[in-house]
């Protein structure tokens, strides 16, 4: 069996978490990531018949029964993942209709998966129905997107169009836009259900005064999606108090649709 520390999915998870911390998106133990893995991927590096512990999940997800996930741990600091991945990360298999998770590797200090795991699993289930290739759910606290929820209307259409107008590439990267939730108590099934509902129509879901959830086919895509939206929010926060002389118009956004073969969210652009 191959050394799990050389597994491409683990190497990429460590690299991504480190980059997120260095960006200032995941202070202390803020943020979490989960990556859906195939049995073939896991079995190449891990004995899938050796169950280290069984951990109750506190929710049910029958559609993800017998699926494998690499997930960050509760109370763990992203800055430490690169130094001790076996402590800060774990590989689990959902069983019993998702009510329990079998730990196959990691959390060697006796820890468990992030408290936001129910939200992740609900979002995974929602995104897989939209796009079976979406395997990553990523939560973090990007500074400017977080700041934006204090000074910008939380109307999803307006929030999305503000971000689209900040940088030409934005509509190309997230033509499905950004969905927004009002402040809700984190770590609960209620916010998980609300986030999953929003994930049905967009890969980015803003938690007002808290952070952001992003989904993607792989770690690079989810990371790049968040990075692009955060860059747009940074530009907005730099100019929001200034008189706006120039902007990207709806007609210009429509031109980008044609140029890059993408379709903006229905009803968001007004074209003469």
CB 74 within 8 A of CB 112: yes
Cα–Cα distance measured from residue 172 to residue 253, given in angstroms and rounded to the nearest whole number: 9
The token pair that represents 16 in the structure block: 């991504």
CB 172 within 8 A of CB 257: no
41 catalytic? Reply is no
CB-hemisphere CA count at 13 Å for 245? 0
Cα–Cα distance measured from residue 51 to residue 241, given in angstroms and rounded to the nearest whole number: 56
Cα–Cα distance measured from residue 253 to residue 167, given in angstroms and rounded to the nearest whole number: 10
Q: Which of 27, 116, 193, 197 is catalytic?
A: 116
Q: Which residues contact 101 (CB under 8 A, 6 or more apart)?
A: 54, 55, 56, 57, 69, 92, 93, 94, 95, 113, 117
Residue 165 buriedness (CB in 10 A; 0-12 / 13-18 / 19+): buried
Strand segments (E) across the chain: 32-37, 53-56, 68-72, 89-95, 100-106, 136-140, 178-181, 204-207, 211-216
Kindly state the helix (H) or strand (E) to which residue 10 belongs, with its residue range: helix 8-22
95 forms bridges with which residues in the sheet?
A: 100
Active-site residues, by number, are 116
């Amino acid at each position: 069996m191959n050394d799990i520390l050389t597994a491409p999915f683990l190497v990429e998870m460590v690299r991504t978490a480190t980059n997120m911390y260095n960006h200032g998106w995941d202070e202390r133990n803020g943020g979490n990531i989960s990556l859906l893995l195939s049995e073939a991927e896991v079995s190449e590096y891990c004995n899938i018949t050796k169950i280290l512990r069984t951990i109750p999940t506190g929710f049910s997800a029958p559609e993800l029964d017998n699926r494998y996930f690499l997930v960050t741990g509760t109370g763990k600091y992203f800055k430490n993942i690169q130094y001790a991945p076996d402590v800060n990360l774990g590989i689990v298999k959902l069983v019993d209709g998702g009510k329990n998770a079998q730990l196959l590797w990691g959390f060697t200090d006796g820890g468990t998966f992030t408290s936001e795991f129910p939200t992740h699993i609900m979002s995974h289930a929602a995104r897989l129905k939209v796009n079976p290739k979406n395997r990553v759910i990523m939560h973090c606290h990007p500074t400017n997107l977080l700041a934006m929820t204090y000074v910008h209307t939380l109307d999803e259409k307006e929030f999305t169009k503000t971000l689209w107008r900040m940088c030409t590439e934005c509509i190309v990267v997230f033509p499905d836009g950004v969905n927004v939730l009002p402040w809700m108590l984190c770590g609960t099934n209620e916010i998980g259900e609300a986030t999953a509902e929003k994930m049905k129509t967009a890969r980015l879901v803003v938690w007002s005064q808290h952070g952001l959830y992003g989904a993607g086919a792989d770690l690079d895509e989810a990371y790049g999606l968040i990075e692009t939206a955060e860059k747009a929010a940074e530009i907005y926060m730099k100019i929001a108090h200034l008189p706006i002389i120039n902007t990207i118009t709806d007609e210009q956004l429509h031109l980008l649709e044609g140029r890059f073969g993408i379709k903006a969210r229905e009803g968001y652009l007004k074209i003469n």
